[in-house]
């Protein structure tokens, strides 16, 4: 069966798509926009953790002095996971901008053949370490640990109350081969 002829409109959309998909500056702009959205959440996150700290200090005092525990102050919405998800998506877009700079010709051919994003830009599953490895970036173990923690928020923790698979609720094996609890960014705050 002969291939269906592409309409002029479809042809123009395909060209526009190709130009935009391979414009690394648009990927960086998207990352900047995601980071700007994340920054809007920062005051609420700081307030949340400040109240959490007050609650813990008050509880510790109550226990130490043998008093009945006071009710905790309302902390407001927990936005840390959503913040981390936005940061993860921004980092992902920056890495993909780098991939585009390195592989533009290859990606151009793939877009022309398939009419969509190249598989390498689609299939990271938000795994920032995979993207770092594709780019051969040299990142120390603390950087890798942070990327693992942030990636978790982009997989599920910033979007869903539970992971897609039960096993993903468990700790994550880090660079040292030991499972670590990564849901909390603790030392990075």
Q: Does the pLDDT of residue 186 top 70, yes or no?
A: no
**Are the CB atoms for 107 and 27 separated by under 8 Å?**
no
3 assigned to some structural domain: no
Output the pLDDT for position 141: 86
Q: Does the pLDDT of residue 164 top 50, yes or no?
A: yes
Report residue 81 as tokens. Answer: 């996971």
Output the pLDDT for position 75: 85
Residue 153 in 3-state DSSP? helix
User: What is the rounded average pLDDT of the residues 145-171?
Assistant: 82
Report residue 48 as tokens. Answer: 């949340």
59 assigned to some structural domain: yes
Beta pairing partners, 173: 179
7 assigned to some structural domain: no
Residue 173 in 3-state DSSP? strand
Q: Measured between alpha carbons, how far is 9 from 176 in angstroms, rounded to an integer?
A: 53
Cα dihedral across residues 139, 141, 146, 151: positive or negative: positive
Domain limits for position 132: 17-188
Report residue 130 as tokens. Answer: 């995979």
Extract the runs of DSSP E, i.e. beta strands, from 29-141.
none
Q: Does the pLDDT of residue 10 top 60, yes or no?
A: yes
Predicted TM-score (pTM) of the model is 0.82
Output the pLDDT for position 187: 43
71 assigned to some structural domain: yes
96 assigned to some structural domain: yes
Q: Measured between alpha carbons, how far is 105 from 65 in angstroms, rounded to an integer?
A: 70
User: What is the rounded average pLDDT of the residues 165-175?
Assistant: 70
Q: What are phi and psi of 68, to 5 degrees?
A: -65, 135
Count of structural domains within the chain: 1
Q: Does the pLDDT of residue 184 top 60, yes or no?
A: no
User: CB-hemisphere CA count at 13 Å for 79?
Assistant: 18
Output the pLDDT for position 171: 65
Q: Does the pLDDT of residue 185 top 60, yes or no?
A: no
**Are the CB atoms for 38 and 87 separated by under 8 Å?**
yes
77 assigned to some structural domain: yes
């Amino acid at each position: 069966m002969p291939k269906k002829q592409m309409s002029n409109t479809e042809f123009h959309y395909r060209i526009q798509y190709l130009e935009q998909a391979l414009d690394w500056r648009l990927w960086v702009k998207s990352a900047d926009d995601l980071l700007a959205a994340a920054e809007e959440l920062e005051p609420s996150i700081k307030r949340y953790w400040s109240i959490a700290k007050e609650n813990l200090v008050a509880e510790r005092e109550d226990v130490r002095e043998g008093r009945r525990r006071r009710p905790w102050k309302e902390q407001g919405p927990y936005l840390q996971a959503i913040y981390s998800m936005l940061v993860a998506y921004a980092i992902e877009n920056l890495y993909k901008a780098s991939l585009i700079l390195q592989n533009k010709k290859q990606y151009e051919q793939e877009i022309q053949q398939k009419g969509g994003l190249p598989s390498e830009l689609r299939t990271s599953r938000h795994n920032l370490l995979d993207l770092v490895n594709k780019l051969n970036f040299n990142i120390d173990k603390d950087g890798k640990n942070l990327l693992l923690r942030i990636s978790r928020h982009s997989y599920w923790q910033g979007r869903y109350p539970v992971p897609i698979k039960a096993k993903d609720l468990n700790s994550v094996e880090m660079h040292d081969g030991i499972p670590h609890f990564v849901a909390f960014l603790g030392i990075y705050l």
